[in-house]
Chains A and B, each alone.
Chain A
Amino acid sequence: MDQPLKPGSASSSPAPAPREDTASPAPAAIRQRSPLYFAWRRFQSNKAALFAGGVLTVLIGMAVFAPFITKTSFTAQDFLTISLAFPSLEHWFGVDDLGRDFYSRIVYGARVSLSIGFIAAGFSVLIGIPLGALAGYFGGRTDWFIMRVIELFSVVPPLLAAMLLGTLTRGGFLSIVFIAALFGWVQVCLLVRAQIKAFREKEFVRAAQALGASPWYIIRRHLIPNSISPIIVGFVLAIPLAMLLEASLSFLGIGVPPPTPSWGQMINTGMSFMFFYWHMAVFPTAALAITVMATTLFGDGLRDALDPTLKGR
């Protein structure tokens, strides 16, 4: 990993092409295609990822337009008459043990799961980029220190630490986001670090250094724009991890507190009812499985498309 990129492997992967600042006029005869075009072509050829992207779009649509596609609120109760009713035309996914429309709760659960996934992934990127850039650009002592911190994160089981932190902060939306970001930045950091390490020795960076550009300027102006593919990849791969963490903690009862609909917490409740009221267990389980799988497949496809050299990592 410490070796500079071999010339052969660099030229065979069109995605991380250095972006020069001087607009060199391309010869008119040759039609230029952007790296993004090739990435899109590669992504299109991955049918599973394309399908997963479609599913993910539908899920995001569900989450965004939740109030418009549900008839009742996710807290509206009709406890005495219909609680635990099976799926019907009136209540598509049945009614839960407290008399709430289960379809509404599943749809609003998508809101919780996806928003935690996206926000936590965003924070992971915000933490991971500067640390990865520092480690990759400066190397030496800085790199050593950041790598030791990452090593610490790799030996502590994230779930156990998250359980401790979850109890410490008493759960809740924001603290789950914070905990997920705390464990999500490591991968982003490693991806950015590897990319910046590979680009640090390139001519255009040398040229910028020779012109007296400050390290911070070079990182901001040259290296981070060139790391955009690993950043996108890191972001997309962090989403399912955050969603899983939320679901796991909520399943254990230390995640998002009850009135908020969370699939993990619904699965836990469904467990006690599954022998007699199957809908209580089936729908949240299926919702969580479909969402996490769609996000992961989409992320894998994006990774393979944006940077074929990362494949299988």
Chain B
Amino acid sequence: MIAYILRRLVSISVTFFIVSVLVFLMMHAIPGGPFDAQDMPLSEAVRDKLMARLGLDKPLHVQYLSYMAGVLQGDWGVPYQSPGETVIELLARAWPPSLILGGLGVLIGVPLGILLGMAAALKRNTWIDYLASAIATLGLTVPVFVISMLLILVFAVWLNWLPASGWGEPKRWILPIIAYAAIPLATYARYTRSAMLDSLNKPFVTVLRAKGLSERRIIFQHVLRNSAIPMVTVFLPMFIGTATGSIFVEAMFRVPGLGSYFVSSITTRDYPLEMALILMITLMFSGAYLISDILYAWLNPRIRIGGRE
């Protein structure tokens, strides 16, 4: 197991390196720079001095190496759009709103999704099942900005129950949380339904019924436990997915979170922020997949006891 983890860590570092080179090159290949005349009317001398101070006048490979040397020491640079703070400080300021909304969305969406999936599996081919499938398909196929738009139109524009946008009092959080909850709810409804149907058809359920165990104990103690493994392993990647989902949710609901920086860092050529955002998300996804795979092996007795394959 340890050898496996080490091998995966090596592969993650290689991935990290390749992604960093690719993103760095693509980022600099985009025409224009952070201090172009149309955005910032600066004199030639000031611009040159600024470029020299940020090291933007050096050849690309030198810039890349000095940037990566900084990153490896935990120094992610200073964002050009707000030079008063470091990239880390900016993220520490902008991430919490996204984390709160995304986290609450996941916390609400996952249990609801599991309940919905269980109801669908137990009442197969009834209206509950069809409703659950419809909700799951809607949540998984329709982009989150369309869901957000529908929420705003129904609850803010027509019914006028909730404010459409903003950040502050918790009333404003409700719609974005529902928008964030859509994907976890749909994912879990679908996974739970198919995993439970899978387990319900296994012979052990027949045995348990034959020995007279109550249906409730069969479902909660045996079937649910048997279907839990895929549900545990999709959790982390999905949770990190809310970070990229924030681009749309926060644009729709005008939340001052991480989302807007994904776009603005690209359009204003804010190289340090852009690199930091993409590299951190990549790292978090790699880490999430690694942890999920370890959890999968650890939770599955066939792998844990029998050794890997």
Chain B positions within 8 Å of A151 at CB level: 11, 15
| B153/A251 in contact, CB under 8 A | no
Residues on B with beta carbons closer than 8 Å to the beta carbon of A168: 26, 29-30
In the complex with contacts A274-B152, A312-B194, A244-B143 CB distance below 8 A: yes
Q: Which residues of chain A are near B23, meaning CB under 8 Å?
A: 161, 164
From B133, B137, B141, residue with most partner A Cβ within 10 Å: B141
Q: Give Cα A293 to B153, complex, Å.
A: 20
A277 to B297, CA, bound (A): 54
Residue B52 at the chain A interface, CB threshold 8 Å: no
Name A's interface SS: helix
Contact (Cβ within 8 A) A293 B282: no
Q: How many A-B residue pairs have CB under 8 A?
A: 107
Q: Once bound together, how far apart are the Cα atoms of A7 and B262, in whole Å?
A: 50
**Chain B 124-155, CB within 8 Å of chain A: the 1/0 string?**
00000000010001101111011001101100
B157 adjacent to chain A (CB < 8 Å)? yes
Q: Which of A254-268 contact B (CB under 8 A)?
A: 254, 267
Contact of A293 among B141, B164, B241 (CB under 8 A): B141
- CB neighbours (8 Å) of B247 from chain A are 159, 252
State the CA gap A293–B285 with chains docked (Å): 27
Whether B141 pairs with A296 at a CB distance below 8 angstroms is yes
| A293 contact set on B, CB distance < 8 A | 137-138, 141-142
Q: From the candidates B137, B145, B278, B309, name the one contacting A296 in the complex (CB within 8 A).
A: B137
B286 interfacial by beta-carbon distance below 8 Å: yes
Residue of A whose beta carbon sits closest to that of B287: A155
Say yes or no: B142 contacts A289, CB within 8 Å: yes
A267 CA / B149 CA spacing, docked (Å): 8
Q: Does B69 contact A (CB under 8 A)?
A: no
Q: State in angstroms the CA–CA spacing of A171 and B273 once bound together.
A: 22
CB contact between B263 and one of A163, A240, A278 (< 8 Å): that residue: A163
Nearest to A52 among chain B residues (CB) is B137
Query: What chain B residues lie within 8 Å of A157 (beta carbons)?
Result: 241, 244, 278, 281-282, 285
A165 within 8 A of B: yes
Q: Mark B29-54, 1 if CB is under 8 A from A, else 0.
A: 11000000000000000000000000
Is B62 close to A, CB under 8 A?
no
Q: Contact: A285 with B149, CB < 8 Å?
A: yes
A275 to chain B, nearest CB (A): 6
Which residues in window 117-149 of A have CB below 8 A to B? 148
Q: Is the CB of A160 within 8 A of B30?
A: no
A-B contacts, 21 of them at CB < 8 A, read A151-B11, A151-B15, A156-B19, A157-B281, A159-B244, A159-B247, A168-B26, A248-B143, A254-B266, A267-B145, A271-B149, A271-B252, A285-B146, A285-B150, A285-B153, A288-B142, A288-B146, A289-B138, A293-B137, A293-B138, A293-B142
Interface residues of A (CB under 8 A from B): 2, 48, 148, 151-152, 154-157, 159-161, 163-165, 167-168, 240, 244, 247-248, 251-254, 267, 270-271, 274-275, 278, 281-282, 285, 288-289, 292-293, 296-297, 312
The 4 nearest A-B residue pairs measured at CB: A296-B141, A155-B285, A312-B194, A285-B149
